[in-house]
Amino acid sequence: MRIGRGLIVLLIVAFSATSAMAGGFRLPEAGAKAMSMGFAFTAQADDPSAIYFNPAGIMQLEGVNVMAGGTYVDGKGATFTGTTPLTGGLSVAETQKDLIFLIPNAYFTQKVSSKFAYGVGIFAPFGLGQEYQDRTTSIFRNQITKIDLMTLVVNPTVAYKVNDSLSIGGGIDYMFARAKLAKTAVVSLPSFVNIYQLDLDGEGSAWGFNLGALYTPSKDWKVGLSYRSPFKVKIHEGDVKIHDIENTVAFVAPGLTTAQVFGIFGGAANKGTTTLNLPPTAGLGVAYTCNKLTIEADADFTFWRNFRSLDIIIKDKTNPLIKDSLTAENWRDTLAFYLGGEYRISDPWALRAGFRYDPTPVPPSTMNPSLPDATKLYYSLGAGYKFKNWTFDLAYMFVDKRDRTANNQTANAPPTVGTGFNGKWSGNSQLVALDIGFKF
């Protein structure tokens, strides 16, 4: 049984629908101003969300600053058309449930001298949320029916001004992770039989760090560099619950009555463990300002090659029907490109727009229904307004998830049910972000 597919995601938060993410399950939605500019913000980094995008940027912020907000994600369910091992060779269509999420952020910064500043940020850098229509009839039910994956990072940060042109910064990242997975065990006898439903629920944590540099060769130009380390998150002693066992389970547990099967499975919980290697990321940005207009272009690297496999170990197995899973993923590094601009039409008002191209790290050979990822195009608009010591930033983003076709379905050989699928995915989503800041 391929319990492991879902525990991939068994790591993180029901904060965002798949189609709203960057490549893989990375979440860059850490600030409304940055989002309105297509996340091209590594070189500007001139609000408290610099803690996420480039920690050296907090040297640009005078006094004490606080900012908080979030991104509302309206994730329209992606539609699949094709076959899975459960469709009997027939091409069918299934649409994921529409999912609505909130991705939070909060920041505090203080500049204590002309040379030194510090702060702390809270944000969600990775996450995944998906759910299929019916866990008892979904054509993907033997692989995954629901995933909630959450991470939350607390990031204390310091920055130092080396000279008039160069600032550097860095911080320590503490990540908390929570994940849930639901699936339905299926056998072929030779017809398809649901034998029980399985739910996983676990927590874990990890430590990391981030670094940044901001170089200002002239008043019109800025160059920013950022790096965030990988996270090795271990889910320890996650609950594995089995319920709704059907009478037909006796067919695959010879010699056991239904009552005995319930005695083995019903209400009991196994424990599951896994380790998820979340990738390091790096960004390079160049910004140019001419009068009231600022334009920035960024290149953003995500080193998904760390995500080679996912091994799920089920501890203290109560029945041979529950098996460990060793799943190859073999994801690829990605290079995304961002372009954004801001036009300050007056002292309090600014208008912004951006574009982002983000390729998928998921190869066709290992694409699965827990994350049917595809290359995405992001289009964004936004505005900023200042009133006395207050700032208000609003952003809208449309995510065009390109159609993606995969043909990696494995054979259905009774009683084993295969995995994967042959077919096409399509979908898109919309995001709205709001941040409110105050300077003391």
How would DSSP label each residue in 57-99?
GGGG--SEEEEEEEEEEEEPPPEEEEE-TTTTT--EEEEPPPE
Pick 180 or 205 by higher pLDDT. Answer: 205
Q: Tell me the pLDDT band of 291, cut-offs 50, 70 and 90.
A: very high
Q: Are the C-beta atoms of residues 429 and 421 closer than 8 Å to each other? A: no
Give the separation between CA 172 and CA 32, rounded to whole angstroms: 23
Mean pLDDT of the chain: 84
Asked if pLDDT for residue 128 goes beyond 90, the answer is no
Q: Are the C-beta atoms of residues 124 and 136 closer than 8 Å to each other? A: no
pLDDT, one tens digit per residue, over 112-121 is: 999 999 999 9
What pLDDT score does 382 carry? 97
Q: Once rounded to an integer, what is the mean pLDDT over residues 208-226?
A: 96
Q: What is the largest CA-CA distance in the chain?
A: 81
What pLDDT score does 359 carry? 93
Q: Tell me the pLDDT band of 4, cut-offs 50, 70 and 90.
A: very low
Q: Tell me the pLDDT band of 9, cut-offs 50, 70 and 90.
A: very low
Asked if pLDDT for residue 425 goes beyond 50, the answer is yes
Tokens standing for 72? Answer: 């509302």
* Per-residue CA distances from 241 to 209, 284, 410 (Å): 35, 45, 27
Q: Tell me the pLDDT band of 275, cut-offs 50, 70 and 90.
A: confident
What pLDDT score does 370 carry? 81
Q: Tell me the pLDDT band of 163, cut-offs 50, 70 and 90.
A: very high
Q: Tell me the pLDDT band of 17, cut-offs 50, 70 and 90.
A: very low
Q: Are the C-beta atoms of residues 213 and 225 closer than 8 Å to each other? A: yes
Asked if pLDDT for residue 254 goes beyond 60, the answer is no
pLDDT, one tens digit per residue, over 45-88 is: 999 999 999 999 999 999 999 999 999 988 777 899 999 999 88
Q: Which domains does the chain have, with CATH numbers?
A: 4-439 (2.40.160.60)
What pLDDT score does 277 carry? 84
Asked if pLDDT for residue 145 goes beyond 90, the answer is no
Asked if pLDDT for residue 189 goes beyond 90, the answer is no
What share of the chain in percent tops pLDDT 90? 50
The answer to which of 166-180, 210-224, 263-277 has the lowest mean pLDDT is: 263-277
Q: Once rounded to an integer, what is the mean pLDDT over residues 424-428?
A: 88
What pLDDT score does 251 carry? 53
The segment with the largest mean pLDDT, out of 34-48, 67-81, 250-264, is: 34-48
Enter the pTM of the model. Answer: 0.86
pLDDT, one tens digit per residue, over 293-326 is: 999 999 999 999 888 776 667 676 665 556 665 6
Pick 102 or 245 by higher pLDDT. Answer: 102
pLDDT, one tens digit per residue, over 347-396 is: 899 999 999 999 999 899 888 888 888 899 999 999 999 999 999 999 99
Q: DSSP class of residue 411? A: P
Q: Are the C-beta atoms of residues 66 and 57 closer than 8 Å to each other? A: no
Pick 350 or 132 by higher pLDDT. Answer: 350
Contacts of 262 (CB under 8 A, 6+ apart): 245
Asked if pLDDT for residue 416 goes beyond 60, the answer is yes
What pLDDT score does 1 carry? 39
Task: Check whether the bond before 415 is cis (ω within 30° of 0).
Answer: yes
